[in-house]
Structure 1
Amino acid sequence: MSFIDNQNYPIREVFLSSDQLVEIQSTRTVQRGQLEDLGFRAETIFTLAEFLKIFKTLDPVTQKALFPDPQWFLRHNYHILRVGLQENPEPVGGNGSPLFGIEYETEFFTDVLLTPVPGEIANNLLSQFERPGAEGAVDPETFMQGF
């Protein structure tokens, strides 16, 4: 994994074993509410289109560990609204690692799928988000059907 500056020049490279990424999948939890209700700050909450643009640049192993199979959302007729990163969550059971949250709408409620992620992954994702303009954004419907 490489950290890049705003001109896309690598500034640091970190090597992660695939074992670390498999551990991410096994610690997912679901909470009722919106990202803000769970302590996510507005500046670390992004639209699905913003996230998908960056998600496509990640390697397949990281993609699979970070984001569940889109068919899970489609099969249940859930609609993904936004994603967020919480850099310093309150430690739950001694674990204060950053959280990646996927806010989605069910038939009756809004829920958030929470996934603890290594700090390096959280920092890498946050460094790639650009707020002004959405040039090159990905259409979520097209992306999900091709995944």
Structure 2
Amino acid sequence: MPTLEGGLAIEPSSETDWVVLEQITQDVGRPAHLAESLAGLMDEDSDWEEFVVPDLASSFNSQCKLVEKTIEHAREHDEPVVFIKPKQAEMWYGAINQARLALEARYQLDATEDAIEDAAPELRSAHFRNRFYLMLQSMLLEYVMETD
């Protein structure tokens, strides 16, 4: 839910909710992998791998670390809510986007959208996490990152 300070508050109501939040960074895997895979899209003459990949990997790592530490802090201090402050919104958005991209690469979620009910449990779980991440991104855009 949106907060009065302009951020978001996520109120996990069960252990499963906490696990799903923690899976954001677990789904990303190795953040540098996304940066490296993007380099594969450039032509071989490009300096992308030498100059861009290290900065992207650093940025991706920072995003994941912030999300991980925010969730860890809330759990360790038995806080009932995980707060996403306005100044953290872009970092959260980026980490969630990395998780969604990694899930798509791993499970080809778009291709299985219609047959999700018959899919293996692991694929169904990935599908529902992806939907949750999309909802979080939408809320960040609507309530925190909007510029109007």
TM exceeding 0.5: no
Which of structures 1 and 2 has the bigger CA Rg? 2
- The TM-score normalised by the length of structure 1 is 0.29
Structure number with the higher helix fraction is: 2
Larger RCO, structures 1/2 (Cα 8 Å, 6+ apart): 2
Q: Give TM-score, length-normalised by structure 2.
A: 0.29
